Amino acid sequence: MSSLQPFLYDTLTLIHILSFAIWFGLVVASLIVIKVFEPKLTDPNIDAETYAGFLKSYIKGETKFIDIIFPLVIVSGILLAIFFTGWNNWVIIKIILVILQFAATMGFIFGVIRKISYPCDKRMYKNWYYLMGVSITFFSVTLIFVYFGR
Ligand code: HEM
């Protein structure tokens, strides 16, 4: 095990950081997609149904990707804790932040986003930006804690 340890640590850390970076990147990309679709989905004179269909396909594809990436962040982090760092306060607080991020995001999607029908007014469409804001805020808090909370 001893000669494998540095390799295992580096591999798990690489998977951990790469998977969270892809997850963060997908959220930022979705923010751009939401911005591009706004004029199409908030104008009553445009065939919003077609554009709503495009948005739904995009979100479906993004969700499939995150369904693979998100568990990778969690499992690689847990394995790093089991084999290397142990369950210190830093790791426990990170787990709490991820659970809160997951609950806040899922709550907003099922409580607000899924109830939007198109075309909608700009005030209702703003909820998409609030959703992205929830994710980006949690990523920022977690990263600040990762690098300044140890
Ligand atoms: C269940 C959730 C998580 C667990 C159990 C976890 C656990 C860990 C552990 C044990 C390490 C290695 C620390 C070390 O080498 O001393 C680590 C590193 C890291 N984690 Fe996580 N993590 C989790 C979620 C996250 C999330 C959501 C992010 C980003 C938003 C993140 C970002 C990082 C970064 C950037 C590092 C590298 C830190 C460095 O190089 O010093 N982790 N994580």
Ligand 1 atom closest to the Cα of residue 80 is 10
Question: What is the amino acid identity at position 108?
Answer: F
Question: What is the amino acid identity at position 149?
Answer: G
Distance of CA 52 to the CA centre of its chain: 21
pTM value is 0.88
Residue range 20-68, pLDDT digits in tens: 999 999 999 999 999 999 999 999 888 888 999 999 999 999 999 999 9
Ligand 1: residue whose CA is nearest its atom 4: 77
Residue range 40-53, pLDDT digits in tens: 999 988 888 899 99
CA distance 114 to 83: 40
18 lines ligand 1 (CB under 6 A): no
